[in-house]
Amino acid sequence: MNALTPHIPRLETERLILRAPSEADLDTEAEFFASEASRFVGGPLRRDETWRAIATLLGHWALRGYGFWGVEEKETGTYVGHVGLWYPEGWPEPEIGWTLMNHATGKGYATEAAQAARAYAYDILGWETAISLIDPDNHASKAVAKRLGAAFDYNYEHPKFGTTEIWRHTAPGDLVNGGMEAYT
């Protein structure tokens, strides 16, 4: 990071640290984006394209004041993915998104980190709603959305990715404990 890097708050959950995306994440991200698993999130990508994707995550923070966090295991410091808030030009609504590296799936990390991101969106940024755009064939992401309390809302024709599903997250006032459960 340098003097031009936007301030990106650090969030902690029971098992995870959500921190600024970093060039140090490139090796792990490039390995993921070279794999078939990345097909649900715009991949596969070459290493140079992955570098630009990380730069885009940082640029979103600079332009919007929020974005995706890099996520690491609190206990080991191992990078496990990026999770956060996304609303680029042309997006239908503000989104909560998650991308877990291949070695980090099936551990509940996406749900845990997304709960913290949602709490930040609702409690700090004042969002009244949020969506997640999910590829119709991405059953793992749909399971995360369901665990977060989101429900299928409608199909959306994305200009680049084709048909995606919009999953609507529970409104802040309808969350148990107002969403503060993410901070425990």
pLDDT digits (tens, 9 = 90+) for 135-180: 999 999 999 999 999 999 999 999 988 999 999 999 999 987 644 4
Instruction: State pLDDT tens for residues 41-76.
Output: 999 999 999 999 999 999 999 999 999 999 999 999
If you ran DSSP here, which 8-state letter would residue 105 be given? T
Domain 11-183, classified CATH 3.40.630.30, yes or no: yes
Distance between CA atoms of residues 86 and 98, nearest Å:
10
In a 10 Å sphere around its CB, with 0-12 CB exposed, 13-18 middle and 19+ buried, how is residue 128 labelled?
exposed
Residue 17 sits at φ, ψ, to 5 deg, of -120, 125
Helix/strand/coil for 79: strand
Helix/strand/coil for 84: strand
Question: Is pLDDT of 183 > 70?
Answer: no
If you ran DSSP here, which 8-state letter would residue 149 be given? T
Q: Using only C-alpha atoms, what is the Rg of the chain? A: 15
Domain range list for the chain: 11-183
Distance between CA atoms of residues 104 and 98, nearest Å:
12
**73 pairs with which residues across the strands?**
16
Instruction: State pLDDT tens for residues 83-122.
Output: 999 999 999 999 999 999 999 999 999 999 999 999 999 9
